[in-house]
Amino acid sequence: MRFFFRSQKFKIILTVTCAVLIMALITAIVGSAFSPQNGILGAATSSITKFFNDVSNEVGSFFKKFESNNELIEENLALKQKVNELTSNLMDFEKAKQENEMYEKYYGIKEHNTDFIMEPAMLISRNSNDPYGSFNINKGSLHGVAINDPVITEAGLVGYISEVNPSYSKVTTILDTAISCGGLDRRTRDAGIVSGELSLAEQGKTRLNNLLRSSSVATGDYIVTSGGGVFPEGLVIGTVDSVHNESYSTALYGIITPIVDFNELRDVMVITYFTGQGNATGE
């Protein structure tokens, strides 16, 4: 609408308006000399005066409507701006609400690990060509996330940060063969090493290796991290499906079902600091 005053149409209207006003002025002067009672010339002058008065009124009415319409447009723009501000505030509120809900879920973990510094994150893409289920999250170095930071849900261990960019990061899961994590049977305290295997990863499972022949690990036992490296102590890894003899040694190994369902992952928490945090992938 602000370009209307520069348009050819506005110039024409302005010219016509000026002409009408001039003619109205001339008519008023002539009409004062020839009143409607002074015969034919007075009657004609009266008619012309009425005509130009009507035109003048219409022009005035047009500009009043135009001014009113312009005010409505300005009010509409102001309302749109207010709606945008409210929408932005609502989005910020929803984001804060979601983060608060996440922190509530992790309250138990934080309560028992007061040294933890955690950063909430959201899964933004899955690496479909990776058989071990790696994925990307919406947090990176700008948010304090670094390589080898543990990644968890409220249930337990997901994996670790294997690649970092300013605004996003890659998470390698505990199904991966790159993982070498100290695992501990929570019931018996028997120790082993959790590491992935391709055939098991396809089933959503992993292995607990290097169990002593004398160990009492049994089906249904919970395996947790033993600590001392990349992963802090006590994070739940999963449960024991079965225990088997190694083919070429006297050791045992267990098949583990992770506590986390990687297909259902949406939100995670990155542990950006914990006491005794290590710098290597394995423990």
Confidence of residue 46 (pLDDT cuts 50, 70, 90): low
Of the listed ranges 14-23, 43-52, 135-144, 195-204, the least confidently predicted one is 43-52
Assigned domain for 108 exists:
no
Burial class (CB within 10 angstroms; exposed 0-12, middle 13-18, buried 19+) of 50 = exposed
Asked which of 72, 102, 132 is the last residue of a domain, the reply is 102
Q: Is the pLDDT of residue 52 over 80?
A: no
Q: Examine the domain organization and report whether 97 and 121 are in the same domain.
A: no
- Domain count across the chain: 2
Instruction: Give the pLDDT of residue 93.
Output: 62
Q: Examine the domain organization and report whether 18 and 132 are in the same domain.
A: no
Q: Examine the domain organization and report whether 15 and 134 are in the same domain.
A: no
Q: Examine the domain organization and report whether 238 and 206 are in the same domain.
A: yes
Instruction: Give the pLDDT of residue 159.
Output: 97
Instruction: Give the pLDDT of residue 97.
Output: 58
Q: What CA–CA distance (Å, rounded) separates 193 from 253? A: 9
Instruction: Give the pLDDT of residue 43.
Output: 53
Give per-residue pLDDT as tens, 131-165: 999 999 999 999 999 999 999 999 999 999 999 99
Asked which of 58, 78, 102 is the last residue of a domain, the reply is 102
- Continuous segment of H or E residues that includes residue 210: strand 206-211
Assigned domain for 111 exists:
no
Q: What CA–CA distance (Å, rounded) separates 45 from 59? A: 21
Of the listed ranges 54-68, 98-112, 249-263, the least confidently predicted one is 54-68
Q: Is the pLDDT of residue 197 over 70?
A: yes
At 70, is the secondary structure helix, strand, or coil?
A: helix
User: pTM for this structure?
Assistant: 0.65
Assigned domain for 110 exists:
no
DSSP β-bridge partners for residue 173: 159
Per the CB < 8 A criterion, the answer to whether 259 and 239 are in contact is yes
Asked which of 77, 102, 127 is the last residue of a domain, the reply is 102
In terms of residue numbers, what domain contains 257?
116-283
Instruction: Give the pLDDT of residue 282.
Output: 45
Q: What are the backbone dihedrals phi and psi of residue 127, each rounded to the nearest 5 degrees, phi first?
A: -90, 90
Q: What percent of the chain has pLDDT over 70?
A: 68
Mean pLDDT highest for which of 73-82, 87-96, 145-154? 145-154
Assigned domain for 215 exists:
yes
Q: Is the pLDDT of residue 123 over 60?
A: yes
Assigned domain for 260 exists:
yes
Hunting for tokens 């001392």 — which residue is that?
228
Confidence of residue 260 (pLDDT cuts 50, 70, 90): very high
Q: Examine the domain organization and report whether 9 and 142 are in the same domain.
A: no
